Amino acid sequence: LDRILSQQDAYGASDEGNGKTICIDYSSINIAKPFHIGHLSTTVIGSALCKIFRFLGYKVVGINHLGDYGTQFGKLISAYKRWGDKETIEKGGIRALNELYVKFHQEAEEHPEYDDEARAYFKKIEQGDEECLALFHWFKDLTLKDVQKIYDMLDIHFDSYAGESFYSDKMPRFVKELADKGIMEEDKGANIVRLDDYNLGTALITKSDGSTLYITRDIAAAKYRMDTYNFVKDIYVVASQQNLHFQQLKRIIELMGYEWTKDIVHVPFGLVSLEEGTMSTRHGRVVFLEDVLNKAIEETRKIIQEKGVATDNIEETAKMVGVGAVVFNELSNNRIKDYVFSWNKVLDFNGETGPYVQYTYARCASVLRNAGEEAAAKAADPSAVKAEYLTSESAYQLARLLYQLPEIIMDAGDKYEPSIVTRHIVDIAQGFNRFYHDEHILVDNEEEKTAKLALVLAAKTAIRNGLALLGMDAPERM
């Protein structure tokens, strides 16, 4: 209790990372493609890892490695010129761009010449053609502006937006290095790295027309990050479908002779599906994350109104709890497991959910309010707390959970697993509720009351610090 009451917001922090930098590549959206529920995992897991490592003392560079390179931008230009108009796109943002993209694919089935045109447009972007480049930047700005709404809702921030196109002029050097070091070989005009000896197939580095690939840009990006940030870890929060890609990447960098390949970490996660079935971008069966978050807020508002309110700011509380519920749910699952998104589970105020933890936090706050300012202030003073009054089983179990928080946070960092923190704050919330149920807190004996209130304040602090690492706010009233 001493430690929690004196360290407050810093309880659970550490200096193990002082002087060290960690790069975290997360969210890493694709320009002009819908930001759907599938992107939730990388975005919130990555953001939580940024917060956890910062709390552990590391300097963290959060990187949104934008997917802003490739023929799809040629397709988009072709589609825009044929069917698009400025106003519709400005108004519709990503959704309108995506419609153009879907239309292009439908039409190109009957008009294969559209594909050639798209390739030509992409070449023009690469060569710096003014008109094509302007359109490309416009698509990019529109996408980022649209996505920013979601990042704001989730309180997500990045230190760098250096994406795939950022590396276009940096790749040739590495392609040459691969050739010079004898790692790469020519195959029908293309350049490949054979990794059969490691059971990793073959990596295509450049196609026969000279164009580069996703992995070529990742090789350049990894080296750039090492040179720029001198990282102790370069973490990629990317779906497990890309396991092979990252194994190949690590191996190629090792073959180039860079020992820091051992510090490249792929943090994979499983698939999110909806109760109504799987999503398919091509068939337009996507659930936009923005709609999910708005629905969460709306459902929460309904629940608050039904249950009666302890707040005069329903709007803000609905946002905090609704968005928090989605985030908390995402971070409750062991990240590698596939899971089905269920509204009932997400918004259950009695289950092991975000609303349950936030409600417990508000309950702690309410106990302290009811005790009065003077009593609460006394409980915040570590020297006034007499632990001999905290002998019941539920008080002991709660104190023990609070004591474990710093180790739990460290463990979550070691395993790149924010759900370890999530589950522990659920345990703390349950521990608090048991204590609250078993014990009379506002007793007449002043010393006993102070000790019990100190435990309440400590639980409140621990829950708040835990929630903050997940990117969630804690409401004083709910």
Positions touching ligand ARG (CB under 6 A) are: 25, 28, 30, 65, 67, 218, 221, 236, 238
225: three-class secondary structure by DSSP: helix
Across 330-473, the runs of DSSP E, i.e. the strands, are 339-341
**At CA 83, angle to CA 78 and CA 86, rounded to 5?**
95
CB of 28 to ligand ARG, least distance (A): 4
Identify which of residues 46 and 413 has a Cβ nearer to ligand ARG in the complex: 46
Taking phi first (over 0 means left), then psi (-120 to 50 degrees means alpha), and beta for anything else, what does residue 57 get?
left
Identify which of residues 215 and 303 has a Cβ nearer to ligand ARG in the complex: 215
- Tell me which amino acid residue 6 is: S
**Neighbour count for residue 381 (Cβ, 10 Å):** 12
CB of 279 to ligand ARG, least distance (A): 14
CB-based contact 368:457 (threshold 8 Å): yes
Query: What are phi and psi for residue 174, nearest 5 degrees?
Result: -80, -30
Identify which of residues 1 and 22 has a Cβ nearer to ligand ARG in the complex: 22
The string of DSSP codes covering 412-428 is HHHHT-THHHHHHHHHH
Q: How far apart (Å, rounded) are the C-alpha atoms in residues 70 and 97?
A: 16
Is the sign of the CA dihedral 168, 169, 174, 177 positive or negative? positive
Name 469's Cβ contacts closer than 8 Å, sequence gap at least 6.
Answer: 48, 51, 52, 55, 409, 418, 421
Identify which of residues 279 and 320 has a Cβ nearer to ligand ARG in the complex: 279
The answer to whether 111 is a known catalytic residue is: no
CB of 221 to ligand ARG, least distance (A): 6
Identify which of residues 8 and 148 has a Cβ nearer to ligand ARG in the complex: 148
CB of 33 to ligand ARG, least distance (A): 8
Which token pair is 164? 């795939």
Long-range contacts formed by 68-71: CB under 8 A, 24+ apart: 68/30, 68/31, 68/136, 68/140, 68/163, 68/164, 68/165, 69/163, 69/164, 69/165, 69/168, 69/217, 70/122, 70/164, 71/118, 71/119, 71/122
The two beta strands, 202-206 and 233-237, are unpaired
CB-based contact 410:55 (threshold 8 Å): no
The answer to whether 65 is a known catalytic residue is: no
Residue 399, CA distances (Å) to 129, 412, 443 in order: 65, 20, 19
Which token pair is 75? 């397709």
- Candidates 36, 124, 233, 460; catalytic one: 36
CB of 243 to ligand ARG, least distance (A): 12
CB of 463 to ligand ARG, least distance (A): 33
CB of 84 to ligand ARG, least distance (A): 24
Q: How far apart (Å, rounded) are the C-alpha atoms in residues 262 and 173?
A: 22
Which token pair is 7? 């360290």
CB of 219 to ligand ARG, least distance (A): 10
- Candidates 20, 33, 59, 123; catalytic one: 33
Task: List the one residue out of 97, 167, 78 whose CA is nearest residue 139.
Answer: 97
The answer to whether 105 is a known catalytic residue is: no
CB of 399 to ligand ARG, least distance (A): 42
Identify which of residues 193 and 221 has a Cβ nearer to ligand ARG in the complex: 221
CB-based contact 473:154 (threshold 8 Å): no
- Tell me which amino acid residue 201 is: G
Identify which of residues 23 and 79 has a Cβ nearer to ligand ARG in the complex: 23
Q: How far apart (Å, rounded) are the C-alpha atoms in residues 250 and 263?
A: 9
Identify which of residues 225 and 363 has a Cβ nearer to ligand ARG in the complex: 225
Identify which of residues 17 and 67 has a Cβ nearer to ligand ARG in the complex: 67
Count CA within 13 A, CB hemisphere, residue 7: 18
Residues classed as catalytic = 33, 36, 39
